[in-house]
Amino acid sequence: MNKPELLAPAGTLEKLICAIHYGADAVYLGGPDFGLRNMAGNFSLEEMPEALRYAHAHGVRCYLTVNSYPADHALQRLEQYLQALAPLPFDAYIISDPGVLRMVRRISPQRELHLSTQANTINRESVLFWQDQGISRVNLAREMTLEDIRATTAAVTLPCEVFVHGALCIAYSGRCLLSSAMTGRSANLGECTQPCRWKYALMEERRPGEYQPIREDSSGTFIYNSKDLCLLDYLPDLVRAGVGSLKIEGRMKGIHYLAGVLRVYRTALDRFCADPNGYRTDPAWMEELTTISHRGYTTGFLLGDPRDVGQSYEAGYLRSHKLVGVIEAKPEAGLAEVAVRNRFQQGDQLALMGPAMKSAVFTAGALQQLLPTGELLPVVVVHPNMRILLPVPASAAVGDMIRLPGPIQEFDA
């Protein structure tokens, strides 16, 4: 039984650093074009070398998404892009389109290639086909069941990758046409406007303006809106099935989401691989996953047809904790330099959040704003973009986060 890679999204350099701090074995990121998250932060060609240096210095692999389906008129631009990327030491490109594969082979023949879930690889024969084309890893379609995954990994020699956590599309492996049809912006070119999350009503054509009462609740009807995928409880099954990489979705999510998901899956994966027979899922892990932004959780197709359990009937996201700060300088004498992300004040009950499920609850003591001149100004309330000195628990470290706990609440994306 081999220990699979834990693969995390890195939409920006800040998220890449966060992913590495919280335990990713590998990260995937997008460039200025030809990925599927054009509205994420992404990396310019000038920023990519710094990302690669940081990842490789920490022993973390770095993959680049080139997984859109370019039209014929975009091929010249794609070729120029691949030529510019050629000197950069990415550990692999993630691709979907056979034409992109062919062009990469011509420009960077030694580049390792991973196949995106967008290619809809849903059976072992498809995996073997892509293996014959020189693909080094295949991300299996989200529609595959655990039984399908076991059968496939047993029949092929190249590693298979599976999404274990994150947003889902009600579409064939994410290949959705809703955005194209309704807004002219193609999800398959990285421009999805997420119409699956919009509120819908039914109208009969001869009665314009008369919306029929098909509401699921007082908020409206969300007929295309999926819950988020969460396969934490089935992580041992996926490892035993021979999955080579466990992938987390979320290049457009914030660092709070990334840290919360990674520290749970990192801890669970390490604990299972260290003692498979004695392993038990810790209830605190699922509790942690409810503290971060999510739409409710589903196991998707892993156990078969999800039916109605895969659909969310709410418009917004759920979470119980709010990120209020990130520790950016090594704590000394119990004080840490913190970059403030959201408002909090002296006397608030705060929670420290670190890798490996490191946690501590403490009260916000005396707060001091660090001014650009280097002076310290005592304050009672702090706001986003301030830099402060904050008394923190002894276990705090650079990269750890400070959160404000509260009841589970709904909020807009």
Is 183 or 220 the better-scoring residue by pLDDT?
183
- pLDDT surpassing 80 at residue 122: yes
Q: Are residues 269 and 359 in the same domain?
A: no
What CATH number does the domain containing 146 carry? Answer: 3.20.20.70
pLDDT at 319: 82
pLDDT at 182: 67
- pLDDT surpassing 60 at residue 129: yes
| Residue 343 · residue 382 · CB < 8 Å | yes
| Residue 27 · residue 10 · CB < 8 Å | yes
Quick one: which of 324, 322, 302, 159 has its CA closest to 230?
A: 302
pLDDT at 115: 97
Could you give the CA distance from residue 365 to residue 379 in angstroms, rounded to a whole number?
Answer: 11
Provide the 3-class DSSP secondary structure of residue 389: strand
- Give the model's confidence band at 42: pLDDT under 50 very low, under 70 low, under 90 confident, else very high: confident
Question: Is 208 a domain residue?
Answer: no
Question: Is 217 a domain residue?
Answer: no
What CATH number does the domain containing 326 carry? Answer: 2.40.30.10
Q: Are residues 56 and 153 in the same domain?
A: yes
Is 52 or 209 the better-scoring residue by pLDDT?
52
Q: What is the pLDDT of residues 325-368, one digit of tens each?
A: 999 998 888 999 999 999 999 999 999 999 999 999 999 999 99
Is 327 or 205 the better-scoring residue by pLDDT?
327
Q: Are residues 361 and 397 in the same domain?
A: yes
318: tokens are 């759920």
Residues 145, 150, 154: CA angle, nearest 5 degrees: 145
- pLDDT surpassing 80 at residue 103: yes
Angle between helices 75-85 and 98-107 (to 10 degrees): 40
| Residue 234 · residue 146 · CB < 8 Å | yes
- pLDDT surpassing 80 at residue 196: no
Token pair 């969460």: residue: 230
Q: Are residues 346 and 303 in the same domain?
A: no
Q: Are residues 251 and 369 in the same domain?
A: no
Q: Are residues 309 and 341 in the same domain?
A: no
Question: Is 72 a domain residue?
Answer: yes
Q: Are residues 160 and 98 in the same domain?
A: yes
Question: Is 93 a domain residue?
Answer: yes
pLDDT at 307: 61
pLDDT at 250: 86
**Mean of all residue pLDDT scores within the chain:** 89
Question: 50: Cβ–Cβ under 8 A, 6 or more apart, which residues?
Answer: 13
Question: Is 92 a domain residue?
Answer: yes
- Give me the mean pLDDT over the 388-399 stretch: 96
Question: 192: Cβ–Cβ under 8 A, 6 or more apart, which residues?
Answer: 36, 39, 176, 179, 185, 186
Q: Are residues 234 and 355 in the same domain?
A: no
254: tokens are 């914030």
What is the DSSP secondary structure assignment for residue 145, as one 8-state letter?
-
* Residue 172, strand partner residues: 175
For residue 262, which amino acid is it? L
Query: If you count them, how many residues does the chain have?
Result: 413
The residue out of 296, 315, 334 marking a domain boundary is: 315
Q: Are residues 279 and 359 in the same domain?
A: no
Question: Is 203 a domain residue?
Answer: no
Residues 137, 139, 144: CA angle, nearest 5 degrees: 135
Hey, how many other C-beta atoms are within 10 angstroms of the C-beta on 3? Answer: 13
Quick one: which of 39, 83, 44, 91 has its CA closest to 64?
A: 91
137: tokens are 């890893």
Region at 307 (left for phi over 0; alpha for psi -120 to 50; beta for the rest): left
- Give me the mean pLDDT over the 46-68 stretch: 97
- Give me the mean pLDDT over the 206-225 stretch: 62
Q: Are residues 287 and 397 in the same domain?
A: no
Dihedral sign computed on CA atoms, order 377, 380, 384, 389: positive
Largest separation between any pair of C-alpha atoms in the chain? 73
- pLDDT surpassing 90 at residue 193: no
Question: Is 388 a domain residue?
Answer: yes
Dihedral sign computed on CA atoms, order 111, 116, 121, 122: positive
Quick one: which of 227, 169, 250 has its CA closest to 7?
A: 250
The residue out of 288, 315, 342 marking a domain boundary is: 315
- Give the model's confidence band at 218: pLDDT under 50 very low, under 70 low, under 90 confident, else very high: low
Could you give the CA distance from residue 239 to residue 246 in angstroms, rounded to a whole number?
Answer: 9
Q: Are residues 41 and 62 in the same domain?
A: yes
Q: What percent of the chain lies above the pLDDT cut of 90?
A: 71
Q: What is the pLDDT of residues 226-265, one digit of tens each?
A: 788 999 999 999 999 999 999 999 878 899 999 999 999 9
- pLDDT surpassing 80 at residue 17: yes
Is 396 or 183 the better-scoring residue by pLDDT?
396
The residue out of 281, 315, 349 marking a domain boundary is: 315
Quick one: which of 285, 298, 28 has its CA closest to 165?
A: 298
Please give the residue range of the domain that contains residue 34.
5-173+225-315
Question: Is 202 a domain residue?
Answer: no
- Give me the mean pLDDT over the 73-83 stretch: 96
| Residue 138 · residue 130 · CB < 8 Å | yes
- pLDDT surpassing 60 at residue 408: yes
- pLDDT surpassing 60 at residue 217: no
* Residue 92, strand partner residues: 63
CA distances (Å), 311 to each of 178, 195, 209, 229, 406, in order?
Answer: 17, 15, 27, 11, 26
Our count of domains for the chain comes to 2
Q: What is the pLDDT of residues 273-328, one digit of tens each?
A: 999 999 999 999 999 999 998 888 999 899 987 765 555 555 567 788 999 999 99
For residue 108, which amino acid is it? S
Question: 312: Cβ–Cβ under 8 A, 6 or more apart, which residues?
Answer: 222, 225, 226, 227, 295, 296
pLDDT at 206: 76
Q: Are residues 297 and 379 in the same domain?
A: no
